[in-house]
Structure 1
Amino acid sequence: METESEPRFEALSAITLVTSDMERALRFYGALGFPMEYGGPNEAFTSFKIGTSYLNLIAQAHAPINGWGRVIIYVSDVDALYRKVLALGLKPAFAPSDAPWGERYFHVNDPDGHELSFARPLRRTPLAADR
């Protein structure tokens, strides 16, 4: 007799965010360097490839969604991206900082108010690992 095992979660495929203005959102994500895989300014759906996952944008097709959320994206260099964000005239919530949970990060909102957190795991030193 075969027993059925509990299904397991394997990976996050995508996050989809609603936008009220696809063209404006694409300018924002394009300026940050997000690589577009599908869609465009006149499309109702656009995907950006991030590692093995996707950040999708969908044109607002229903009533506004009320709520709050944050998308956390690991990047190779938090401070370099922060400087790029400032050079683009964007206003991050705060400068990059090291969090007690082991990440260096900062937040910036996209044009639709979605909070993006750009982060990088901190390297653990042998001394810190002993604590």
Structure 2
Amino acid sequence: MNERQPDDGDAHVESLSAITLATHDMSRAVRFYEALGFRMLYGGANEAFTSFALGSSFLNLTSETHGPIPFWGRVIIYVSDVDAFYRKALAHGIEPQFAPRDAPWHERYFHLTDSDGHELSFARPL
């Protein structure tokens, strides 16, 4: 049985927000998802980041222009408190890529990489 650590506070996972996939050709990728009927919310063919509605979640595209795509993508997980979840990760010896910050797409977030190299983003709408 896992006992709750005293430093966990009330920070907890709430839902899966989005999946972000890397692409070498944003214009081609945007055309593909628009052809499938995905509704664009942010970005576009000439942008480095694009977000589509996917029910109550999102499918994001991020542009990778140099060499092979270095990662498979990113899972974005909504949490109750981004800063508290960041402190929780640090308290467990997990080193996030950067401290929580506010994004122009109106989320507070930070990223970390799991032991297999998968990128996880913990976020909360602003």
Shorter-chain TM band: 0.3 to 0.5
Q: TM-score, normalised by structure 1?
A: 0.44
Q: TM-score, normalised by structure 2?
A: 0.46
- Whose strand fraction is larger, Structure 1's or Structure 2's? 2
Max Rg structure: 1
